[in-house]
Amino acid sequence: MSLEKITDPRRMRHWLGHMETDYRYTLGIAGERFLNEIKENARIMGARCKRCGVIYVPPKMYCEECFEKLEEWIDLGTRGEVYTYTIAYVDMDGNRLAEPVIYALITFGDAYGGLIHKLGEVKPEEVWIGMPVEAVFKPPQERKGSITDIKYFKPAQ
Amino acid sequence: MFGKKRVAIVGAGLTLFRRNLKETGKELAYEASKMALDAAGMELSDIQSVVMGTAPDAFDGVHMKGEYLADGAGARNKPYVRVYVGGGTGVFTPLAGWWHVASGQFDTCLVVCEEKMSSCFPHPAYAFTTIFDNILARPLGTTLIWIFALEMHRYMHKHNIKKEQIARVAVKNKRNALDHPCAQLAANITVEDVLNSEIMCWPVQRLDISPTSDGAAALVLASEDVAKKVTDNPVWIDGVGWCIDSTIWTNRDLYYPDYVEYAARMAYKMAGIKNPPKEIDLAEPYDPFDYKELHHMEGLLLCRKGEAPKLTEEGVTARDGDLPICPSGGLLGVGNPIAAAGAMKVCEVFWQLRGEAGKRQVPGDPRTGVAQAWGDLMQYGSVIVLRR
């Protein structure tokens, strides 16, 4: 095989192509209801399995464990806890971000799973695993039924 | 058991792993396949079936990559299938090859794994953006590295593990790779070098991560009858296991890979292994990040939960230690062309058990080895147990 060490791939004879395709992803049965609750009522919901008792967040249409259809929805409030977090210093291309961004996995009591989201109103060095946080929602007129209707989670008072 | 036939590996082949290779994906598949056939002393006409493993189509930028690569893997006019379980593909593909032969349907199967990640530019990280949940994760600008950083941080928190301890894995594997003729990122570095490297997404730093790579690997599988005709040194596939956890990645505890444990238990049961650390002579767990080697050692039941960093510090996992881990140099040192990287680990165990690993040979005449890969959205485990 070729033993040449190539650091600049543009030096090799090549053809430039792209796979440009756009997609429209439906939110789904559970996803639409979950995000609609955030949009209309600024509340985070879980779905409880009546057979296993497991509460899923984000809610699903079915229980992964027993395949029961999930019909009972529970208001989990807007407060959770930092389960783990990272401080991102670079973007997709490896370029330094102007300001680091804190991403966390936030859990809600005994519910199974959690939400990943940004943390705000807090400095990287002030975050800790186990820290109570609460959701900060965009104003109602700006909410579109997206996970970004939650601006970020901030330290809970 | 179930009338299964015993299956052996009788030849292995591996290309260079590099950031940019001139060869097309098909040509890489050919190079590895040809080398594996030559090593087995076989011709393409001796091969009755072909299994191809290759990860997302978006890396090579070819939809239906299985079909695209078929001729490079010698599959023309043969029973052929492509399998794909993300990063777990490289160990899963030999498992799929195993059932082709174990079922009794074929006497031989050529297993080929390929990835050409350099086609995707400026960086194949872009091909990863569409693996995350469209509704809840992608709107946040998810990148691969911060997803791993969340898991690494939870693992460190749970067991009170220091970054210095994790960095030792990168140091060990990159040094091991100095003896690997195919290695892309072999280096003699120190723990300080890792700790001083660029912080990407805390706690992940530049030298905690394996590179993106082009490369291919291949294995020739044979039934017992054929294996005994073509070689005096067959290496037997004595255990296979695979498992998937919840596909909602937030629905896992993140500090322990249950799915690896379940896959390992399946493989160990089949191989009759009751005490993994005692009965396994060397292991090649998947190490795309340094902490993942530790994570996976624990999932493979090679030590207790949270104990892997200590074993690494004590030198137990060094090539000349009591339980050599990633003597090849792993993904951190040899490189990470996704599917080919996992298959490289199976090749390494094969060569180690045959005593053909050259300068990388672990001492003590190893008889039993394990390779493992990990993939999909951080929840797929594939495990293979080899014995001579």
Query: What CATH number corresponds to the domain at position A54?
Result: 2.40.50.140
Residue A19 included in any domain:
no
Which chain A residues in 63-122 lie under 8 Å from chain B, judged by CB atoms? 64, 83-94, 103-105, 112-118
Residue B269 included in any domain:
yes
Residue B142 included in any domain:
no
Residue A90 included in any domain:
yes
Q: How large is the average pLDDT for residues B124-143?
A: 85
Residue A52 included in any domain:
yes
Overall domain count for chain B: 1
Flag whether the ipTM exceeds 0.90.
no
Establish if A48 touches chain B: CB-CB under 8 angstroms.
no
Q: Could you tell me if B373 and B222 are in contact, meaning their C-beta atoms sit under 8 angstroms apart?
A: no
Please return the burial class of A97, using the count of CB atoms within 10 Å of its CB with bins 0-12, 13-18 and 19+: exposed
Residue-range definition of the domain harbouring residue A60: 24-155
Establish if A124 touches chain B: CB-CB under 8 angstroms.
yes
Residue B143 included in any domain:
no
Which chain B residues in 198-227 lie under 8 Å from chain A, judged by CB atoms? 198-204
Residue A109 included in any domain:
yes
Q: How far apart are CA B73 and CA B93, in angstroms?
A: 13
The average confidence (pLDDT) of chain A is 94
Overall domain count for chain A: 1
- Partners of residue B63 in chain A, C-beta under 8 Å: 19
Residue A113 included in any domain:
yes
pLDDT band at A143 (very low <50, low <70, confident <90, very high): very high
CATH of the domain at B91: 3.40.47.10
Q: How far apart are CA A115 and CA B318, in angstroms?
A: 39
Residue B327 included in any domain:
yes
Q: Is the pLDDT of residue B258 over 60?
A: yes
Enter the tokens of residue B83.
């399998």
Residue A15 included in any domain:
no
Q: Is the pLDDT of residue A73 over 90?
A: yes
Strand arrangement, sheet containing A72-75: A72-75, A45-48, A55-57, A112-113
Over pLDDT 70: what percentage of chain A?
A: 100
Chain A closest CA to B66's CA: distance in Å?
Answer: 17
**Could you read off the pLDDT of A78-119 as tens digits, one per residue?**
999 999 999 999 988 889 999 999 999 999 999 999 999 999
Instruction: Look at residue A113 in the predicted model and tell me its pLDDT.
Output: 92
Residue A5 included in any domain:
no
**Could you read off the pLDDT of B334-387 as tens digits, one per residue?**
999 999 999 999 999 999 999 999 999 999 999 999 999 999 878 899 999 999
Establish if B192 touches chain A: CB-CB under 8 angstroms.
no
Q: Is the pLDDT of residue B160 over 90?
A: yes
Q: Which of A10, A87, A112, A143 is the best substitution to test chain B (most B C-beta atoms within 10 A)?
A: A87
Residue B380 included in any domain:
yes
Strand boundaries in B268-353, DSSP class E: 282-284
Q: Is the pLDDT of residue B1 over 80?
A: no
Q: Is the pLDDT of residue B2 over 60?
A: no
Chain A closest CA to B26's CA: distance in Å?
Answer: 12
Residue for token pair 């174990």? B102
Q: Is the pLDDT of residue B98 over 60?
A: yes
Closest CA to B8 of B107, B105, B103: B107
Instruction: Look at residue A7 in the predicted model and tell me its pLDDT.
Output: 85
